[in-house]
Structure 1
Amino acid sequence: MFEIIKEIKEKKHQEINGEMFIVMEKHFLDAKNGDKYIGLKLKDKSGIIEAKIWKNLYHLHENFKEGDFVKLKAKTNYYKDNWQLIIENIEKIEVDETIKDEFLPKTKKDIEVLTKELFAIINGTQNQAIKKLLLSVFEEDEFFAKFKKAPAAKSMHHAYIGGLMEHTISVAKIAKEIAKFYMPIDTDILVAGALLHDIGKVYEIDASTFNYTNEGKLIGHIVIGYNLVKEKIKNIKLSNEQEVQILHCILAHHGEYEYGSPKIPKTKEALLLHLIDTMDSKMEPLQNIQANETNWSESIKILGRSFFVPKTNKTEELTLF
C-alpha cells in the first residue's frame, strides 16, 4: 500500500486517478519557451517523483501547499531518464496520524536493534568525559524519541523514518574500522564526531512531512547541532582541545565551503569523518536501484547520473557423465 511511485517506475501505471502523495516541494518555474508551470516533488512510501502542472496553474495553486497530503489526476511521462507526472487536477486531503505513520517510508532495520548498536558504540568509548557527553545527548528522552524517527535528509539519502539513526550508526561503525588504517588517530574524537555530526537534523526536518522546519531553513543542521553539543559540553569536564576538536568535526563534516560547511576539515579526524559521511550518503541511494530494460537506473539525484545495473543471471551447471 502507498507504493504508487514504485509501480509507476515499473510501468504499471499510465494514469493516476485519486492516489495519494505528500507534496515535498512546490515552485513556480519558467519553461525554455517562456511558459510558466508549477514544478513539484511528490513522495509516497516507495520514493519520490517529479510532477508538473501546465494548465490551470493559478486555480490549482490555491488547492494545496508544501507539506500537504494530496490526491491527483495525472498522466505518467518518462523524460530525461526519470519518470514524472503531468498533473491535470490536484486536491488537498486530510489524513489521520495512523495513515501518516503507514504512508511514510521507514528504515527496514529494527529500531530497537539500532538503539542497542548505538549505545554499544557509546559504551565502547574509552575516554570517560567523551562517553559522558554522548550519553548526555542520547539519553535525553525527548531528543532521542525525535532522533529515532528523524530522516537523514529530505530526499538525497536515508530519506525515511529512522534514516538519521541508520546513517549515524553506519558512519560510526565504518569510522571505527577505517581508523585502524590511519593511526595515530583519536578514535574517541572520531566516533564522537560521527555520532554527533548530524544531530541537528532532528530539528531541521519535520519527520511528519519531510519538509524543512523554519529552524532548518534559517539556521541549518550544522549550526543547530553545534549549539546542542556546545550546551551539553558546559556540564562535561572535557579538555579545551577535546571540545574544540569535536565541535570542529561537526562544523567541518560537509568538507567544502560550497557544500555549506562553515569550516573545512583541519584535523585527521574531521577529514576522515567527512569522507566517511560522504561515502555513506552516496552509496545508500544505490542499495536498491532498479534498472529499465536497457539495464540503466533512473538518475540518482545526489550523484547526478544514472547507473548501470547488471543482470543477475545464474549460470547453469553442466553435469558430465
Structure 2
Amino acid sequence: MYDCIEAIKQKRIKKIEKETFLVSEKHILKARNGDEYVGLKLKDRSGIIDAKIWNNLLHLKDRFEAGDFVKITGESNFYNDNWQVIIKDIEKIDEKDVDKKAFLPSTSKNLDQLQNELFGLIDSIKHPGLKKLLEEIFTDEVFFERFIHAPAAKSMHHAYVGGLLEHTVSVGKIALSLTKEYKDIDRDMLISCALLHDIGKVYELDPMTFNYTTEGKLIGHIIIGYTIVQNKLEKLNVSEDTKINLLHCILAHHGEYEYGSPKKPKTKEAILINLIDMLDSRMEPVLNAKIDENTGWSDMIRIIGKSIYAPKKQKELL
C-alpha cells in the first residue's frame, strides 16, 4: 500500500489505475509551443515523482491543490533520465480516507530508542547551564511532539517522518565519539550544538508535504533555531562566552555562505559540527540508495551529485 512510486521507478507499473498520492507541488506552466499544462510533484511513502497534466486542463486543473490527497489514473513515462506520470484523470479524496501514518515515509529506526539515546546524550552533559537549556527545549511537549515526527529535509537527506530525530541523534553520537579522539574540544559545547543545530526545521518544513513553510522560506531553520536558543539562554545563568560560542555553532553549521550559512565556522567546535553534519547528511542517502540488481549502480544521489556502485556481495566460490 502507498508504494506506487517505487513500483513505477522499478518499471513494474506502466498503467496507473486510481492510485493514491499526495500532491506536494502544483504549478501552471507553459510548454514551448505556448500551451498551458499542469506540472506536479506527487508523493507517497516510497518517494517523490514528477507528473504532468497535458489534456483536459479546463476540467482537471481546479479539482485539487498542493497538499491534497488525490486518486490518479494515467501512465508512467521515462523522460530525460527520470520517471514521470502522465495524468489522464485526477480526483481529490478526503484525507480521512488515507492512513497518514502508513502513507508517509518513516525512519526505519525505533522511535523510542532514538528518544532514549537523545535524552541519554542530554544527561551526559556536565555543564549545568547547557544541560538546563537542553532539558527546557526538549521537554516542551508541544515542541517535542513536532520534533520527533519532523523530517530533516525536503528531499536531500533523512526526508521522512522521524528523520530530524534520527539525524540529530546520529550527529550527537558522532560528536560524542570524536570528543574521545580530539581531546582539546569542549565536549559539552560540541554535544549541545549537535542536538540543537537543526531544531529550527520543526518550523521550517511542513510535516505532511515536507515543503518549506512560509516561515521556512522567509527566515530559514538556522535563524529560527538560533532565535529559539537565544530566547532560552536569556533566562538561564550561562556565561556570555558560552552563549556566544553556542550561538556561533548554530549559525555556522552549514559551513559556507553559498550553503546558506550566516557565518563561517571560526571555533574548533563549530568547524567540527559542520563536518559531522555534512558527513551524516551525505551518508544517509548513500547508505539507503536503491541499487539496480542487474548493474550494481544506483540512481543519481542528489546531495553528492553522482551515482554509486554497490553490487550485491557474492559468496566466494569454495
Normalization by structure 2: what TM-score? 0.93
The verdict on how the C-alpha distance between 1:315 and 1:96 changes in structure 2, with shifts beyond 3 A counting, is: same
CA distance in 1, matches of 2:32, 2:266: 43
- Indicate conservation of the 8 Å contact 1:72/1:90, yes or no: yes
Structure 1 position 31, deviation (Å) = 5.0
CA distance change for structure 1 residues 34 and 302 in 2, over 3 Å: closer, same or farther? farther
Give the secondary structure class of the aligned counterpart of 1:126: coil
Looking at structure 1, the residues matched to 38 and 300 of structure 2 have their Cα atoms a distance apart, in angstroms, of 21
Q: How many angstroms does 1:37 deviate by?
A: 3.7
Q: Which runs of 5+ in 1 are unaligned?
A: none
- Partner Cα distance (1:130, 1:12) in 2: 52
Select between 99-108 and 306-315 the one with higher mean Cα deviation.
306-315
* Deviating more after overlay: 38-47 vs 153-162: 38-47
Name the structure 2 match of 1:302.
303
Q: How does 1:38-77 map to 2 (within 5 A)?
A: 38-57=38-57, 59-77=59-77
Which residue does the alignment assign to 2:224? 224
Deviations, residues 71-124 of structure 1 (Å, cap 9, x unaligned)? 112211223443222222222211218611221111111111111100100111
Q: Which residue of 1 aligns with 2:133?
A: 133
Alignment of 1:111 with 2:111, yes or no, is yes
Q: Is the 8 A contact 1:290 1:309 kept in 2?
A: no
| Residue of structure 1 equivalent to 2:264 | 264
Where 2:299 maps in the other structure, the secondary structure is coil
Question: Which stretch of structure 1 is more off in the superposition, 13-22 or 209-218?
Answer: 209-218
Q: What letter matches 1:152 in structure 2?
A: A
Alpha-carbon shift at residue 223 of structure 1 (Å) = 1.1
Q: What is the percent sequence identity of the aligned residues?
A: 55
Residues 82 and 298 of structure 1 are in contact (CA less than 8 Å); yes or no, is this contact kept in structure 2? Answer: no
Q: Secondary structure at the match of 2:95?
A: coil
Partner of 2:245: 245
In 2 relative to 1, CA 177–264 (structure 1 residues): closer, same or farther, beyond 3 Å?
A: same
Cα contact 1:81–1:306 (8 A) shared by 2:
no
Are the aligned partners of 2:295 and 2:311 in contact in 1 as well (CA < 8 Å)? no
- Is the contact between residue 81 and residue 299 of structure 1 (CA under 8 Å) also seen in structure 2? no
Larger mean Cα displacement after TM superposition, 50-59 or 1-10: 50-59
Partners of 1:302 and 1:53 lie apart in 2 by: 29
Corresponding position of 1:145: 145
Counterpart in the other structure of 1:312: 313
Tell me the residue number matched to 1:164: 164
When residues 76 and 158 of structure 1 are mapped into structure 2, their CA distance, relative to the original with a 3 A threshold, is same
User: What letter corresponds to residue 40 of structure 2 in structure 1?
Assistant: L
Map residues 76-225 of structure 1 onto 2, 5 A cutoff: 76-96=76-96, 99-225=99-225
Change (3 A) 1:29 1:276: farther
Aligned to 1:279: 279
Separation (CA, whole Å) in 1 of partners of 2:307 and 2:94? 36
In structure 2, the gaps of 5 or more residues are none
Instruction: Tell me the amino acid that sits aligned with residue 316 of structure 2.
Output: T
Matched residue type, 2:308: F
Letter aligned with residue 89 of structure 1: D
Q: Alpha carbons of 1:138 and 1:81: their partners in 2 closer, same or farther (altered >3 Å)? A: same
Between 1:81-90 and 1:24-33, the stretch displaced more is 24-33
What is the Cα deviation at residue 30 of structure 1?
4.8
Q: 1:177-234, CA deviations, whole angstroms, 9 ceiling, x for partnerless residues? A: 1233333111211111110011011111121332322222222111111111111112
RMSD: 1.9
In structure 1, what is the Cα distance between the partners aligned to 2:299 and 2:215? Answer: 32
Change (3 A) 1:31 1:246: farther
Shift of residue 33, structure 1, vs aligned partner: 6.3
- Shift of the 28–272 alpha-carbon distance from structure 1 to 2, 3 Å rule, reads farther
Q: 1:295 and 1:30, CA in 2 relative to 1: closer, same or farther beyond 3 A?
A: farther
Aligned residue-pair number: 317
Q: Say if 1:295 and 1:310, in contact at 8 Å, map to a contact too.
A: yes
1:272 CA displacement: 1.1
Change (3 A) 1:76 1:218: same
Distance verdict in 2 for CA 1:305–1:41, change over 3 Å: farther
Distance 2:44 2:96 in 1: 15
